[in-house]
Amino acid sequence: MATKPDLVPRCDVHADRSMIKHFGTAREKVSGAVTTIVIWQCPVEGCRQTFHGGRGYYDAASTYRPGRPRRCTSHKEPMIVQAHGDGFTYVCPVDGCDYTEPLAPKAAGKKGE
């Protein structure tokens, strides 16, 4: 499944900030093989929001796993926050898919409204 080129996730808490690409490692539970994975992290100090393509958004500081990530209803891929018009929206990462979901207002950086 091809993904959209040049997709840079935005933090789902600080949607006005693009996340920074990092390389991490993951160990296969069964074989013990170590693989390199791409993860994205929020640049805001104190924010530990992380995005991983197979997992969606999660808090790297917490082992607690809040609800499931938003997934595209067609592709079941975790959705990515992108700038859209004047605001932000979740988009499906699959190339050619137009499915979007609105970002909750509290996550759009509009505190105090």
Using CB under 5 A, pick the residue from 4, 94, 100, 107 that binds Zn ion. 94
* Residue 44 binds to Zn ion (criterion: CB under 5 A): yes
* Residue 11 binds to Zn ion (criterion: CB under 5 A): yes
* Residue 79 binds to Zn ion (criterion: CB under 5 A): no
* Residue 10 binds to Zn ion (criterion: CB under 5 A): no
Nearer to Zn ion, 18 or 37 (CB): 18
Q: Which residue from 70, 10, 69 is spatially nearest to 43, judged by alpha carbons? A: 10
CB burial of 77-106 (b: ≥16 within 10 Å; e: otherwise) equals: bbbbbbeeeeebbbbbbbeebeeeeebeee
* Residue 74 binds to Zn ion (criterion: CB under 5 A): yes
Spatial distance between the Cα atoms of 102 and 86, rounded to a whole number of angstroms: 12
- The footprint of Zn ion (CB under 5 A) covers 11, 13-14, 42, 44, 47, 49, 72, 74-75, 92, 94, 97, 99
